Amino acid sequence: MLYSATILISTGYDSKLIEPKDEGFLSRIKKLLVVQEKPLVEELHDVSDLLEKIGTALTDCKLTNLVRISHDSNDFYLDTAKKPHDLPTVLSSFRLELQTYYERFFEEVSIVLEDVVDQMEYAISIRLSRVHYIETFPIRIRISGNPVSIEVSKPEERFGLFTAKMEQAVRKYLQIAIIRFSGKDSSEFTDANVRPQSAVGAGTNVNLLSKNIFQLFPLYGVELGTTTVSQLAKLGVKAQDINSRTSKPYDYYKVSGMNFWFDAEKKITTHIYITYSDPMPEQWQNRGFDWQASYNTWRNLFEKKGYKIIDEEQPGHEIYRGSRSFKAEFHAVVPFSERINLSVELDFSYSKISGQNGKGTLYSIRIRSIFVGD
């Protein structure tokens, strides 16, 4: 089961409207054509102080495993190996750098964490916008969670308690003007082509069913959620870079240039993550995967193949390096076996291109296996 919720926050700190620049002839043409520019707002809060408070709220919720922190498209820290409890140290260093060099120049800070709390695996994505459109919120916290195994009892209740605690922590430490909370359960598959095992029928091979829907795996001989670590070792090369906290190599094998991450306890391959700078596997290119494809093209691609579409962030826009940039995220989910769903997660950002039909707006693809109930 996959659960998700979003917390949207408008702070009580000062802000100011940004006056549109006079673009001369172009500006006059826009006025003649009655083209209305959406007002922009600049937040005037102390970013370093705000990040410290957000970090405290996360720590209160036992979220300390940082995956990524960046300003605009510049990664300050990236750790897909899930170094334990690195949030306080890294966030402190990032606050100092931001305060010293970038505080009035960055437009967005992005923080991503992954942690396990009360037998639930959580992925937390936080977006802090210094400049944003007037109708959007400057702070967005997206929470995704799923049980660590099918044996976990009452996962929906656990998720609800966790998100409530998260909201309380935010209210406790941040100066809130407006807060909106929305939650949803993404465990239901209503499309006949992606129904769970119990609805498919006895004896049906759901793994084969999912391959017929969209044959993304096996990729280079690897299947997420089923390929074991011992099998990975025969296909690729173990990570050579060392995790400074554990003094052991990171938990992935490189197979044909692709990093396949695994769960060290379960000894099973769990996920992959690539960005627009990585080559797209030829097998996926043959299925229509293209970094230059538009948001609408990607969405149609999965919808036609019967994937369940989960909108994590509705299509919209943000300001990126002074330009209007398309922003959205959706997850395409499909049963892969009796106990595993496959989630293809697409993040559209950092492109300097606007519109759902704009080419080259996709920033990253993350594919992971998710345990589900019978």
- As a dihedral over the C-alpha atoms of residue 237, residue 239, residue 240, residue 243, rounded to 10 degrees, the angle is -170
For residues 276 and 10, the model is more confident at 276
Which among 271, 60, 300 is positioned nearest to 146, based on CA atoms? 271
- What number of residues does the chain have? 374
How much of the chain exceeds pLDDT 90, in percent?
27
Given this model, what pLDDT does residue 71 score?
Answer: 82
Q: Is the pLDDT of residue 38 over 50?
A: yes
Positive or negative, the CA dihedral 186, 189, 190, 191 is: positive
Our measurement of the distance from residue 129's CA atom to the centroid of its chain's CA atoms, rounded to an integer in Å, reads 16
Query: 0.75 exceeded by the pTM?
Result: no
pLDDT range class, residue 291, cuts 50, 70, 90: very high
List pLDDT tens digits, range 48-58.
Answer: 888 899 999 99
Q: What does residue 181 show for φ and ψ, rounded to 5 degrees? A: -125, 130
Tokens linked to 321:
């390096």
CB 170 within 8 A of CB 55: no
Q: How much is the pLDDT for 195? A: 30
Contact between 359 and 291 under an 8 Å Cβ cutoff? The reply is no
| pLDDT-based confidence at residue 230 (cuts at 50, 70, 90) | very high
